[in-house]
Structure formats: C-alpha cells, structure tokens
Amino acid sequence: MIGGDGVSDGDAPWQAVVRGAVRRWTGLGTGAAGAPATLPPGDVPARHEALLRDAGFVEVASYRFVQPHVWSAESILGYLRSTSFASRHALGDKAAAFEAELRAALLACDAADRYPQHLRFGYTFARAPEACRAGPTDR
C-alpha cells in the first residue's frame, strides 16, 4: 500500500476528532513511550523502488490510485479495533469508554454519520533478473 491513508490522515474536522481521541486515550502523538516512529518524509514508492533496484530487481514500477470512501462511526471504530494501538485488547478496560466518546464526538461532527475520505492505494512490483529465475533443474 502506498500512502497508508488511515482514518485520521487528513484535514477534515472528523479526522481531527479521531486524532484527538486516539491521542487522549493512547498517548500517540504525545511522544509517549512505545509510540511508533513516523516514516521519514519523502516519496514512499520511490524508496520501495530504490530498495528493489538495489537488490537487483529489474522492471521496477509503482502505480497509484485513489478510491473515494465514506466511513461511518462504526466502521471507523472497526478500523481502529484492528490496529495495535486502539484495539480492545490494547485499550483494555478503557475500550468501551473510548468507543463511546469517539462515537459521540463523530456524531456531533456529522449527525448523518457520513465521513468521506479519498483513500490512496498503490503497489510496487519488480521482476527478478533472468539469472535468478532459473528453476532447480536448470542450474
């Protein structure tokens, strides 16, 4: 996946609500111990392509596409439940309160329970050079 868009990646007011709730309940974004480091700035596909070329792959290329998506409060919570930092396991006995707070804050942001986002996806592929593609009987 290129870009790695998540529910909180963007400038929409509802995304600020998600970022704020995650920050309050998990400490992420506050420099808390265990908070994941961010990737260095730059073009992720270009870094992937360079790694593959450096490893000897050929015909390296990346392709990107954008897909419009409309989240609901429940789908946002489902997404967050799938993460390592805001899963029910990670939040423990705080999970229900986190979910209730975020659900209420999102619905206050949009009573229609519709949170649009353009998700960016992509892929990078490469081909092994001819010398690496010989089968076991060809060696």
Mean pLDDT score of the chain, rounded to an integer? 85
Separation of alpha carbons 20 and 22, rounded Å: 5
* pLDDT confidence of residue 31: 42
Residue 103 belongs to a domain: yes
pLDDT of residue 56: 94
pLDDT at 136: 64
* Cα(100)–Cα(71) distance, integer angstroms: 17
Residue 94 lies in a domain: yes
In a domain, 66, yes or no: yes
- Strand, coil or helix: 126: strand
Query: Which of the two residues, 3 and 23, has the higher pLDDT score?
Result: 23
3 has a pLDDT exceeding 60: no
Condensed to tens digits (0 to 9), the pLDDT of residues 92-111 reads 999 999 999 999 999 999 99
DSSP H or E segment with residue 27: none
What is the per-residue pLDDT for 16?
Answer: 94
Number of domains comprising the chain: 1
In a domain, 138, yes or no: no
Query: Over pLDDT 70: what percentage of the chain?
Result: 80
- Quick one: pLDDT at residue 45? 86
Looking at the domain assignment, is residue 1 inside a domain?
Answer: no
Other CB atoms within 10 Å distance of the CB of residue 121: 14
Closest CA to 108 of 14, 28, 42: 14
Residue 8 lies in a domain: no
| Residue span of the structural domain in which 20 resides | 13-32+42-132
Instruction: Burial-class residue 2 by CB neighbours within 10 Å (0-12, 13-18, 19+).
Output: middle
* Per-residue pLDDT tens digits for 10-53: 899 999 999 999 999 998 854 444 444 454 555 788 899 999 99
pTM of the model: 0.71
Residue 130 pLDDT exceeds 90: no
Residue 63 lies in a domain: yes
